[in-house]
Amino acid sequence: MSGLLGHGAAYEATHECDLLILLGTDFPYGAFLPADVWTLRRFRDRAALRASLSRLREGLRGGHGTRAPMSWRTVVELTRSGRPPVL
């Protein structure tokens, strides 16, 4: 159990492994998955695979408009909460 309602030990285990295998799940919380670990996903059915690939296609297609600059107040609030913005 990882994610918003998960356990700290599961979060640490997913970040310390060499290969993360996700079987039959459509894990929606990408922020909780490690960026530097190889991840292998096995989808239950074609509909789940199609939904995942459509999100990827939408992100690659673009057309999301221009990004508004972050205010300094938001930068300070994020930094105080332990989540400094990534440049």
19-23 and 38-42 strand pairing: parallel
Indicate the range of 1-10, 15-24, 35-44, 59-68 predicted with least confidence: 1-10
pLDDT value at 18 more than 60: yes
Residue 44: its pLDDT value, please?
72
Calpha distance 14→24 (Å, rounded): 17
Q: How confident is the model at residue 73 (pLDDT cuts 50, 70, 90)?
A: very high
Say yes or no to pLDDT of 1 above 70.
Answer: no
The overall longest dimension of the chain from CA atoms, in Å, is 45
Over residues 65-74, mean pLDDT: 85
Report which listed range, 29-38, 51-60, 76-85, is most confident. Answer: 76-85
CB 66: neighbour CB atoms within 10 A? 5
**Does the reported pTM lie above 0.75?**
no
What was the pLDDT predicted at 26? 65
Proportion of the chain in helix, strand, coil states, percent, rounded to 5? 45, 10, 45
| Domain boundaries, given as residue ranges, for the chain | 8-66
**What is the Cα–Cα distance from 81 to 86, expressed in whole angstroms?**
14
In whole angstroms, give the CA distance from residue 2 to residue 6: 4
